[in-house]
């Protein structure tokens, strides 16, 4: 696995962001999806596979793991704050970089490209484009009300069911385990609601959209919407499980796409 270096950076609103570096080579930043943390989520094994080719950076998004949450009341969250977090990490690790976002982390990655952060290429695993808009205007308000009532576990399971996670996964999905960071689900919903078709259509950096052949339902539909909207994107479907691909296979695809030598080959659209 190699040496992991842990560092911390303060963002403009006083939030402390924790991040790790491992490997050597061009910088690839991994952005976690809903509720995930850098040390216990799916990015950790993926980072280990990628560290032979890249300097891989994983970080705890605000309100998770070792990162604090300087946003105050959940209703005060703004997408710009997470963009500021990522921008500060990029300042430290060196730019331009490649970025890979998983699920809602892919939405943050798209916002970051749109905001002009120094990102040379971006890959997205099953981005839930338009998820919270499609769930109705009252959905986020309902989650916020549950949070304010202290029903954090209910926030987690309500979200999981609403986005179509299979019930057998919800039943064993650790709602109580994720409860301490339940407010970040509302943050992810804000990322989704603020990402309109005009933003996706304006993404010009080389972009890869990856999905699992086993993913179905709303998540598959949301991913397809991004594929159709991107003006300069590639689409790759790989064997896997629902909302998941074996780390070795995903790492191979990301390495082929993000490697500096791939610059001339990653601009065209590739069918699933």
Residue 272 binned pLDDT confidence (cut-offs 50, 70, 90): very low
Compute CA distances 158 → 155, 161, 164, 173, 233, whole Å.
5, 5, 10, 12, 32
Instruction: Quote the pLDDT of residue 200.
Output: 93
What domain count does the chain have? 1
Domain presence at residue 150: no
Sign of CA dihedral 13, 22, 262, 126: negative
Tell me the per-residue pLDDT of 236-268, one tens digit each, with 9 for 90 and over: 999 999 999 999 999 999 999 999 876 545 554
Could you tell me if residue 179 is inside a domain?
A: no
Rounded-to-integer distance, Cα 105 and Cα 96, Å:
19
Say if 151 falls within a structural domain. no
How much is the pTM?
Answer: 0.92
Query: What is the distance between the alpha carbons of residues 200 and 231, in angstroms, rounded to a whole number?
Result: 8
H helices of 71-216, in order, are 79-93, 104-114, 131-134, 138-148, 152-162, 167-171, 175-178, 183-193, 197-201
Contact (CB, 8 A) for 207 and 122: yes
Are the C-beta atoms of 190 and 79 separated by less than 8 Å?
A: yes
> Residue 77 — pLDDT band, cuts 50, 70, 90?
confident
User: Does residue 125 carry a pLDDT above 70?
Assistant: yes
Residue range 192-231, pLDDT digits in tens: 989 988 999 999 999 999 999 999 888 899 999 999 999 8
CATH code of 90's domain: 3.40.50.1820
- What pLDDT does residue 172 have? 75
Assess if residue 138 is contained within a domain. no
**Sheet arrangement for strand 233-238:** 4-10, 16-23, 55-59, 27-31, 97-102, 119-125, 207-212, 233-238
| Cβ proximity of 223 and 215 under 8 Å | yes
Could you read off the pLDDT of 89-100 as tens digits, one per residue? 999 998 789 999
Over range 104-115, report the average pLDDT. Answer: 96
270 domain-assigned: no
Higher per-residue confidence, 70 vs 61: 61
Element spanning 256, H or E: helix 247-258
Per DSSP (E only), the strands in the chain are 4-10, 16-23, 27-31, 55-59, 97-102, 119-125, 207-212, 233-238
Residue 13 lies in a domain: yes
Contact 23, 53 (CB under 8 A): yes
Strands 4-10 and 55-59: unpaired
Residue 159 lies in a domain: no
Q: What pLDDT score was predicted for residue 262?
A: 65
Say if 20 falls within a structural domain.
Answer: yes
CB–CB of 132/189 below 8 Å?
A: yes
- Cα(19)–Cα(251) distance, integer angstroms: 20
Please, which residues have CB within 8 angstroms of residue 196's CB and are 6 or more apart in sequence? none
Torsion of CA 47, 126, 201, 233, to 10 degrees: 60
Provide the domain limits for residue 239.
4-128+195-265
């Amino acid at each position: 696995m190699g040496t992991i270096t842990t560092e911390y950076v303060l963002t403009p609103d006083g939030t402390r962001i924790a991040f790790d570096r491992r490997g050597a080579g061009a910088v690839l930043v991994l952005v976690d999806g809903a509720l995930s943390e850098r040390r216990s989520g799916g990015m950790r094994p993926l980072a280990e596979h990628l560290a032979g080719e890249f300097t891989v950076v994983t970080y705890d998004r605000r309100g998770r793991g070792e990162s604090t949450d300087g946003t105050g009341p959940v209703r005060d969250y703004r997408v710009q704050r997470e963009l500021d977090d990522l921008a500060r990490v990029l300042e430290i690790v060196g730019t331009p970089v490649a970025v890979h976002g998983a699920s809602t982390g892919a939405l943050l990655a798209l916002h970051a490209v749109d905001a002009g952060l120094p990102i040379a290429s971006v890959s997205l695993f099953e981005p839930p484009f338009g998820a919270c808009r499609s769930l109705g205007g009252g959905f986020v308000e309902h989650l916020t009300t549950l949070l304010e009532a202290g029903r954090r576990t209910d926030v987690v399971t309500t979200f999981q069911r609403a986005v179509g996670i299979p019930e057998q996964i919800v039943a064993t999905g650790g709602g109580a385990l994720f409860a301490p960071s339940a407010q970040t689900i509302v943050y992810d919903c804000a990322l989704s609601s603020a990402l309109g078709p005009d933003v996706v259509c304006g993404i010009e950096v080389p972009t890869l959209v990856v999905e699992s052949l086993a993913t179905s339902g709303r998540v598959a539909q949301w991913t397809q919407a991004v594929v159709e909207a991107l003006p300069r994107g590639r689409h790759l479907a790989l064997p896997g499980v629902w909302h998941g691909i074996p780390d070795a296979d995903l790492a191979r695809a990301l390495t082929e796409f993000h490697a500096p030598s791939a610059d001339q080959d990653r601009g065209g659209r590739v069918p699933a």
